[in-house]
Amino acid sequence: MQARYRYRFYPTDQQKQALAKTFGCTRYVWNEALAHCQAVGKYVGYNALSKRLTGLKQSLEWLKEVSSVALQQSLRQLDQAYRRFFEKKGGFPQFKKKQSKQSDAFSVEGKCVYLAKIGNIKPIWSRALPSQPSSVTVIKDCAGRYFVSFVVEVSPSKLPAQSPSIGVDLGVKTFATTSDGAQYHSPNSGPLYRRITQLQKQLARRVKGSKRWERTRLRIAKLHARIADRRLDFLHKLSTKLTCENQVVCLEDLNVSGMLKNRKLSKAISRQGWGMFRSLCEAKGDKHGREVRVINRWEATSQYCSQCGWHWGKLDLATRVVVCDGCGAVHDRDENASRNVEQVGMGRRPTLKRTWRLCKPGLSAAVDEASRIPCLVATQRCRD
């Protein structure tokens, strides 16, 4: 199976310029091709666009200054975007703006990575690559950090699980409560958010596009990147723990977009990263040979007693502890819900609707992607 390995690197000023140029050219090629298709009124196909690119290069000298493979790749990505749209898997391809672009070409030699027309870069090898990479992507996030991301082949691990199943209840106050009674809190980023609010006021007072404005923008972007890094780290650790230790992980299918309509909760919910947690669990379940089951969102897991099945009905969000009228047991609200999630997922609950489905993970290689941060992304086939 495929996985992504990402490493940070620090380009020289010269390389930064060359990278910026490549990012700019690939963006131009993408936008130009998209505009052409829109003008014609249909998608003309990769081959026709590729021929057009050859023509463009004759008239636009500056397109020749960057790696031609990167430009081809940009068209290939547009081709994929159109395909996804035709297969109803994605929206219509969008024009690329300056803050969100792509580029570049490579080969790995010892500790260096050679990028065509950029030169050698030295990534910080925080861990060894498990195999020869099949493609590389150069990413620049809006906090100004550079990364190379390799797609590598990894063999799935087959460690035996310690426990047969676990249910997970996701919440706002406590990120996750599991059916074995453990609680997991996401990192507290409150102070960082308060600092962002201050800086955003400052940004509003600056002249847009000025040096001071840019400086403040970068500071805000760095804080956002830090929050995202911390959250992603937490989600990675938790999903690894749950999928390694349990054979079956049962999750709830949360109606996140519906919940975001609740104005009082929307901020807190959008900061949680439930969707990311689920995709991480699915990818890791695949990697470790575990099952991830997602139960129906209409399953009322907080309305039943997990011991006797007594139905006490809807609870107010403020109610944290429930005493069961049926058997007298005292339940923590979230823990009770997570037990119900587990029982529904394992099919042990005839009283409930017993609905769950097995999750088919998407491309697990995409899991690592910093999709929330506007990126400069580049994909390139390995030369050998």
Annotated catalytic residues are: 169, 252, 334
Residues that bind Zn ion (rule: CB under 5 A) add up to a total of: 7
Residue 186 has phi, psi (to 5 degrees) of -75, 155
Closer to Zn ion at the Cβ: 223 or 329? 329
Q: How far is the CB of 173 from Zn ion (least distance, A)?
A: 24
- Show the DSSP H helices in the chain as ranges: 13-40, 46-59, 68-86, 190-205, 211-245, 256-259, 263-270, 274-288, 333-345
Q: How far is the CB of 312 from Zn ion (least distance, A)?
A: 9
Say if residues 223 and 203 touch (Cβ distance below 8 Å): no
Residue with tokens 């006021």: 201
Residues in the chain, overall count: 384
Closer to Zn ion at the Cβ: 233 or 325? 325
Binding mask 183-212 for Zn ion (x = CB under 5 A): ------------------------------
Rounded distance, CA 302 to CA 299, Å? 9
Is 352 among the residues that bind Zn ion (CB under 5 A)?
A: no
Closer to Zn ion at the Cβ: 99 or 307? 307
Say if residues 185 and 196 touch (Cβ distance below 8 Å): no
Q: How far is the CB of 310 from Zn ion (least distance, A)?
A: 4
Q: Spell out the residues 6+ positions from residue 330 whose beta carbon is closer than 8 angstroms to its own.
A: 321, 322, 323, 324
Q: How far is the CB of 301 from Zn ion (least distance, A)?
A: 14
Rounded distance, CA 93 to CA 33, Å? 11
Is 35 among the residues that bind Zn ion (CB under 5 A)?
A: no
Rounded distance, CA 83 to CA 43, Å? 10
Is 326 among the residues that bind Zn ion (CB under 5 A)?
A: yes
- The DSSP bridge pattern shows strands 380-381 and 135-141 to be antiparallel
Residue with tokens 């672009």: 101
Q: How far is the CB of 358 from Zn ion (least distance, A)?
A: 30
Q: Spell out the residues 6+ positions from residue 195 whose beta carbon is closer than 8 angstroms to its own.
A: 223
Rounded distance, CA 375 to CA 377, Å? 6
Strand, coil or helix: what is 61?
helix
120: tokens are: 């050698």
Which amino acid is it at 199?
A: L
Question: Which of 238, 248, 251, 324 is close enough to bind Zn ion by CB under 5 A?
Answer: 324
Closer to Zn ion at the Cβ: 81 or 305? 305
Binding mask 304-323 for Zn ion (x = CB under 5 A): -x-xx-x-------------
Q: How far is the CB of 317 from Zn ion (least distance, A)?
A: 21
Closer to Zn ion at the Cβ: 229 or 332? 332
Q: How far is the CB of 336 from Zn ion (least distance, A)?
A: 9
Helix or strand (DSSP H, E) at 123? none
Binding mask 272-311 for Zn ion (x = CB under 5 A): ---------------------------------x-xx-x-
Is 327 among the residues that bind Zn ion (CB under 5 A)?
A: yes
Closer to Zn ion at the Cβ: 202 or 307? 307
Closer to Zn ion at the Cβ: 132 or 319? 319
Listed ranges 209-217, 232-240, 327-335, 365-373: which one lies at the site for Zn ion (CB under 5 A): 327-335
Q: How far is the CB of 331 from Zn ion (least distance, A)?
A: 8
- Sign of torsion over alpha carbons 281, 103, 18, 113: positive
Is 337 among the residues that bind Zn ion (CB under 5 A)?
A: no
| CA atoms within 13 A of residue 125's CA, in its CB half-sphere | 10
Closer to Zn ion at the Cβ: 184 or 312? 312
Q: DSSP state, 270?
A: H
Instruction: List contacts with Zn ion (CB under 5 A).
Output: 305, 307-308, 310, 324, 326-327
